Structure 1
């Protein structure tokens, strides 16, 4: 550790991490409905305390009203703070302040919004997913600011809303509106303080086949869209899914292409004119979205050419693009973070892949270095008695601070 790093770490205390994290958990932010005003205020107050410029941002109704017509979107607030230095790369830290609902309160040993401490853990909804990571990112930035470190670039901190609802009113809108322009990205999520170098791209495709309706008693007069869809599913099962199963990518769970929902017909005695199929895909760069869509198009066209002919379309319900999230394990970002873990904890570690989905997917088209990192065991997220280790939250804060210094900090003079 350099003297500058030791100085910065001296400003990260267990008491502040604990109290800030408790305040975040007590600032209830269930999604739905996605009201993050209280949690955003906790972050804004902390940035103000340290003299860090920050602003509250809300997606205008005109941008999201189609999906959320009965919701007061002004309550769905995100924060963007920045510490600017000399000209250089933008390092963005993004973690979400919304949570899923608490569920059945009888399954909780404590009030999920009381942030009770027991045996070194803070219990509560969002303790791990994702307010532990939010606390680590915010307080790492505060320590950098307090130490007066000069940066050779810009540090942005983004406690963001709406991750639990596909980010439409959060990261997705912020990117579209031009607020997020990173060259390097650290997404805060539950990784048990391991460095995740990527995740599968989660895409929901919708295939629609249009045939010809007729009376159910005379099916030969029509073209049954549901039967054509069944043929398509069989071909996907025979041809495309085996391709996916052959892909073995280190650090990642398997690639999956899973038909999940089929909907066809309007009445029992009418041959269906239209049938739709939803397909959940979890993809990696070795099997990118454009390839999956092209193969599906080939299958559909071959079936139509064989006859009877039909019309078809493939839509992307998630509107995500790119080839999945993957950063080379030898890249400066991953190696810097791995070394920071070793220096802070004394433990050697290897990279991992992130099993769940995160807002990293909203940046998949940029091709920038991305790491996913934060405290807490990912298995406790979305569960009763969700918790985070205070010790691990403190270590996560220090790991991030060291990472920031080594990536965009000016060296000691």
Structure 2
């Protein structure tokens, strides 16, 4: 018979560590940690894990920090990516994005919601587990993963495929406003290339203008975006043109190439093959003999490791009655005496690799709110850190009870 979950003590401990979580989160925010430049924040996390008593802490060859609690035979994992996007136009910020701000209720700074708040709560959930002696029947792996903003899921492709680590399920601590999230759409990064022939701009009829050839493709893509797939839970597929490139000998010449990038969001039932084919069969694409391809990613991590992959990030969801949903639902009710909201993300997470590629169930519960991600004046809430620390400490035993 499993241990009785001490819900009241867990909540009390989570409140007790609010100041420690705040301090730790502000330390992480103060360290710029854009994708592929996470070394300093990784070592700061390692230091905090060791300070609060994790049983083992290591940094893998890609640069992910892996902290272990417990020595039981069954493995579950909790994940936070600890890279951030840049700050964008600094004039849009009302405070320094790395010095941050703090009030009685909130913490501001780049990474507060997306996604270092989740790391702060996970580390102190580990402290709560150790304080209360709850770790005997399982092993909890807490991961601080890199390069997610650049290539979501790549870190977990490496962890699963190269390190051979395969937990029974993973809790993603991406921002969910302290709600349970059970899926999101997938995505692809697609490129369309059109070729032309340059000539002097004074006699354009002598050449073949690649930008003009791209124009009807853009129009047909806009039309295609209105007739993509739909799913009752995840919503509709989308596409948008996110970038445009060209080459030309000069401003007084006809462009000899034009290319665009497409951000394609895939709902349930759509495939990467189908997404490419529906573009390739557009009449304007055929007329222009355009080349439609998928981007690949091969940027080195902060350790110098290159782990190339195609820029396809699969759609995933778990059923409403799945054991992961039941696990988190029961933990939430036990801790807070009310029913949680169950929903989905709009954006993409490391779940694209964990479940989308490798079939390991993922469930989301995190501090902060999705609209804060990538926005100026990013913030999270201290109460969220407390709620999530309590949840993360209770989830392992709730899982064993549910299973």
The question of whether the paired residues in 2 share the 8 Å contact of 1:127 and 1:386 is answered with yes
The question of whether the paired residues in 2 share the 8 Å contact of 1:213 and 1:270 is answered with yes
Q: Which runs of 5+ in 2 are unaligned?
A: 298-309
Give the drift of 1:377: 2.8
Distance (whole Å) between structure 2 residues aligned to residue 169 and residue 332 of structure 1: 26
Distance (whole Å) between structure 2 residues aligned to residue 282 and residue 169 of structure 1: 18
Match of 2:13 in 1: 12
Superposed CA RMSD:
3.6
Q: How many residues align?
A: 385
Structure 2 residue corresponding to 1:293, chosen from 268, 276, 282: 276
The question of whether the paired residues in 2 share the 8 Å contact of 1:209 and 1:311 is answered with yes
User: After superposition, where does 1:218-297 map in structure 2 within 5 Å?
Assistant: 223-238=208-223, 240-244=224-228, 247-250=230-233, 252=234, 254-267=236-249, 270-297=253-280
Deviations 1:218-252 (A, max 9, x none): 766665443433333333333x32222x62432x4
Compared CA separation, residues 106 and 151, structure 1 to 2 (3 A):
same
Compared CA separation, residues 101 and 15, structure 1 to 2 (3 A):
farther
User: After superposition, where does 1:134-213 map in structure 2 within 5 Å?
Assistant: 134-149=119-134, 154-166=139-151, 170-171=155-156, 173-174=158-159, 177-178=162-163, 180-213=165-198
Q: Which runs of 5+ in 1 are unaligned?
A: 60-76
Distance (whole Å) between structure 2 residues aligned to residue 296 and residue 111 of structure 1: 40
Structure 2 residue corresponding to 1:314, chosen from 293, 296, 315: 293
The question of whether the paired residues in 2 share the 8 Å contact of 1:31 and 1:98 is answered with yes
User: After superposition, where does 1:60-99 map in structure 2 within 5 Å?
Assistant: 77-83=63-69, 85-88=71-74, 90-99=75-84
The question of whether the paired residues in 2 share the 8 Å contact of 1:21 and 1:131 is answered with no
The question of whether the paired residues in 1 share the 8 Å contact of 2:11 and 2:390 is answered with no
Give the drift of 1:36: 4.2
Match of 1:350 in 2: 341
Asked if residue 57 in structure 1 is aligned to residue 60 in structure 2, the reply is yes
Compared CA separation, residues 360 and 114, structure 1 to 2 (3 A):
same
The question of whether the paired residues in 1 share the 8 Å contact of 2:184 and 2:348 is answered with yes
Distance (whole Å) between structure 1 residues aligned to residue 268 and residue 97 of structure 2: 42
Distance (whole Å) between structure 2 residues aligned to residue 168 and residue 399 of structure 1: 24
Give the drift of 1:291: 1.4
Deviations 1:333-361 (A, max 9, x none): 12221232222222323311112333333
The question of whether the paired residues in 2 share the 8 Å contact of 1:149 and 1:409 is answered with no
Compared CA separation, residues 119 and 44, structure 1 to 2 (3 A):
closer
